[in-house]
Structure 1
Amino acid sequence: MSVAPTSIDSADRRARGAVSALFLTNGALFANMAPRLPELKDTFGLGEAAYGFLVIAWPVGAIIAGLASGWLIRRFGSALVAVAGTMLTGAALLGAGSAPSLALLATGFLFGGAMDAITDVAQNSHGLLVQRRYGRSILNSFHALWSVGAVLGGSMAAGAMALNLSLSVHLGISLLIFAVVALTALKFCLPMGKPQAGLEEVSEDRPADPSPGTARTARNHTLWIMVALVLISTAGVMTEDAGNSWAALYLADSLGTSASFAALGYISLVGAQFVGRILGDGMVDRFGQRLVAQMGAVCLILGMGLALAFPSVPGSVLGFAAAGFGVATLVPAAMEHADRLPGLAPGTGLSVVSWLMRLGFLISPPLVGFVAEGWGLRAGLLLVPLVGVIVLLCSPVLRAKAPRQQL
């Protein structure tokens, strides 16, 4: 029977701080590059289509390398993989920012996306280890700090542009700062070995030597749970992408706001998502992952559904905020559950869900764009409340009660 630990020792607290630093660093690295992407577009004279193919190299690299994460974690430990991946991601961004040719630029993005995907799985894996030591939900707070890192990185980029720093100098400073942070965090992560027993297969309730029929049934059950978790996490990232790619465009072009005001669509979504993640751990502990996901899905469906049904500028800003708040806990919940699926090698479930989840970043923009081309962006954004329905349908696979750590 699982129970909450009676106390948290100083090593566990230091490990939590270390994982928090890794999440913040991961959020900050690419955010240092994002505001300066138009410079690369101008430097290489890229058209809209070529620029789109360049940017998509990042998620393509992530998809290519994502499944290697589980093997690397089992071989070297989640902490070391997360830190090495962080440093290689920063190096790839520096290489891309200093690239003398378009081919090297695209290679830098491809490699950076690959390293970022591996880092993401490793830091979530280590965060789940620390969470099990705590015996309560803390994973959402890590993801909230990723958002803080993204804001920090964007602010650093704005400062670098204001100071007229070259891209290579700016990204070199970013790499130096966050490499030091990551290496320092490594000293305080949980050591590889016994404390990482949380990565072992969950096998308490399975027979030691199951019959072929029982094993096949168990595999099918695990497969269907995996599919549902992928759909839940993909719903989260597709909603995020709606804010990233379409919120400003919808407010400016469809509702006629100024470009500066249109940015509030994205800001409201990520801001509400940050609030949802700060509050998420307490909600998960109190209500369980399943109910929190269901309440979030209802918030998403009603918020964006009403905003699109009765279009207005204030209503749309609030609708994007409702979407961000509604999906705040979906990706952490799916990752936690995937990491505990029975019958899988350590790290495999988390790697597969994270890998397939990234397809959402590839599917969402062209899907919304295709619908918008024929019926308008308002119709295209109906994808957002639709994924809320998918979350409701898949939510029974999530835990109805927060898991408790076994002493």
Structure 2
Amino acid sequence: MTASSTPPRPIGATDRPARHARIAVAVLFIVNGVTFASVVPWLPAIKDQLLLRNTGLGLGWAAGPLGGLAVGIAAGPLAARFGSGRTATRGALLGLLSLPAVAVAPTWSAFAISVFLLGAADAVTDAAMNAHGLLVQRRYGRSIINSFHAQWSVGAVGGGLLGAGAVALGVPRVLHLSGMAVVLAAAVALAARWQLRGPDHIERPPVADRHPAASTGAVHASRGVRQAVRTAPWLLLGFASLPMLGGVVEDSAASWAAVYLRDTLGAAAFVAGLGFVAAQTMMVVGRVIGDRLVDRFGAGRIARSGSLLAAVGMLAVVAGPVPLVVVAGFGLAGLGVATLFPLGLAAAGAIPGVRTADGVAVASWLARLGFLVAPPLVGVVADAASLRWGLALVLGCALIAAVLSGRLPDDPTSE
């Protein structure tokens, strides 16, 4: 076995490159969280300036997920050619270039195109930075992927707060978003110097070494996302479904918690907003403690237990007679699905014969599909029956995730 094919050893106290690479990936996650969140507080002002109705604003903002679906799957081939670190860096910089374009968009079409580019760049960055994070995790020899997603959540909250502050203080939109783009681009450029060097494949042992039964053809079958799907279609689909199902549960709090608490249970405006806050707060908690739990109990057990906890939380949401119970239910659901996204990506990126970036790209693409489809699906059921029944679909997604989680490998760093 050559030096380049030797599996990376667990990190030691003197392994500075791996520690530096972890910081570089953390910066990418934080910047990614801040980028989109910086725009959200400005949406009402953009709506007023462009004289948009709610439908027009919604359609323009939906261009972001559409851009992600259209381009995100290309993250795998791009990472194979340029490396996951360089791909994530370029995607992040492209997304930041889109911020001033969103700020100065003079028409609905220009706004939608800018948001489309922002969503496309976000999708490539998301898949590539997760793939690079998994390479760093293999160097560490223990789970660290959940901590990256916790940092993303912190970045999203921070970006939203900074944006809200800029709006409240009357800072010009173009000044705020352009200033954020410059500062964040500088952070990304500096952090890029600490990323792992060389092609991604040198951080993974050959397939034959990891799984003796795997043939050389399986190695070559990993060239491209299509071949990745052909290599292990059902295993890849099962792992990739976990981020999608977790995303459906997560989105239920963002899209429907306030409406459900206000319209169904008669909660005041402040209380109605607590459902989303509870879910997001508990997701951060779950991701902060997630790596230690995974190392101790295994990824499969944690994902399965978390999915069941999310199901209990959604049951409290659907059956809860008072707002306090429903808010607590959304909090439990957020805690339960906190690790599903990172663990699903990690498993999809570790399938034998599948390049890390290809597996992650497929999982990330399905997750974005879930975020795009879930809100209107719940809305259709709510209009046909009630929002309570619509949220019952989310409960079903949590139960399906519990079943699929049983296939996750207990060691997130093994393949």
TM over 0.5: yes
Say if 1:265 and 1:312 are closer, same or farther in 2 by CA, change over 3 A: same
Counterpart of 1:233 in structure 2 is: 243
**Superposed, which structure 2 residues align to 1:85-234 within 5 Å?**
85-193=91-199, 197-198=202-203, 202-204=207-209, 205=211, 206-208=213-215, 222-234=232-244
1:368 aligns with 2:373: no
**Superposed, which structure 2 residues align to 1:276-295 within 5 Å?**
276-295=286-305
Say if 1:304 and 1:87 are closer, same or farther in 2 by CA, change over 3 A: same
Equivalent pair of 1:190/1:196 in contact (CA under 8 Å): no
- Tell me the distance in 2 between the aligned counterparts of 1:315 and 1:247: 12
**Greater CA drift, 6-15 or 91-100:** 6-15
1:347 aligns with 2:357: yes
**Identity over aligned residues, as a percent?**
39
Q: What secondary structure is seen at the aligned counterpart in 2 of 1:347? A: helix
Instruction: Kindly provide the CA deviation profile for residues 51-88 of structure 1, in whole angstroms up to 9, marking residues without a partner as x.
Output: 22111100000000011101111111111111111111
Say if 1:89 and 1:3 are closer, same or farther in 2 by CA, change over 3 A: closer
| Aligned residue identity for 1:244 | A
Equivalent pair of 2:317/2:326 in contact (CA under 8 Å): yes
Give unmatched runs, 5+ long, in structure 2.
1-5, 223-227
| Aligned residue identity for 1:84 | R
Q: CA offset at residue 183 of structure 1?
A: 0.6
- Tell me the distance in 2 between the aligned counterparts of 1:221 and 1:81: 24
| Aligned residue identity for 1:315 | V
Q: CA offset at residue 400 of structure 1?
A: 2.7
- Tell me the distance in 1 between the aligned counterparts of 2:60 and 2:204: 36
- Tell me the distance in 1 between the aligned counterparts of 2:323 and 2:229: 48
Equivalent pair of 2:131/2:356 in contact (CA under 8 Å): no
| Aligned residue identity for 1:160 | A
Q: What secondary structure is seen at the aligned counterpart in 2 of 1:79? A: helix
Say how many residue pairs are matched: 399
Give unmatched runs, 5+ long, in structure 1.
none
TM-score norm. by structure 1 comes to 0.93
Equivalent pair of 2:304/2:406 in contact (CA under 8 Å): no
Q: What secondary structure is seen at the aligned counterpart in 1 of 2:288? A: helix
| Aligned residue identity for 1:61 | G
Q: CA offset at residue 371 of structure 1?
A: 0.8
- Tell me the distance in 1 between the aligned counterparts of 2:24 and 2:229: 35
Equivalent pair of 2:103/2:174 in contact (CA under 8 Å): yes
Instruction: Kindly provide the CA deviation profile for residues 321-351 of structure 1, in whole angstroms up to 9, marking residues without a partner as x.
Output: 0100000011111111111112234521111
| Aligned residue identity for 2:252 | A
- Tell me the distance in 1 between the aligned counterparts of 2:40 and 2:278: 19
**Greater CA drift, 48-57 or 364-373:** 48-57
CA RMSD of the aligned region, Å?
Answer: 2.2
1:243 aligns with 2:253: yes
Equivalent pair of 2:32/2:92 in contact (CA under 8 Å): yes
- Tell me the distance in 1 between the aligned counterparts of 2:206 and 2:244: 24
Query: 296, 302, 317: which one pairs with 1:307?
Result: 317
Instruction: Kindly provide the CA deviation profile for residues 156-214 of structure 1, in whole angstroms up to 9, marking residues without a partner as x.
Output: 10121122112111100110110011011101111124x75235763432344579xxx
Q: What secondary structure is seen at the aligned counterpart in 2 of 1:403? A: coil
Say if 1:56 and 1:210 are closer, same or farther in 2 by CA, change over 3 A: closer
Instruction: Return structure 1 stretches of 4+ with deviation > 4 angstroms.
Output: 1-4, 218-221
Counterpart of 1:322 in structure 2 is: 332
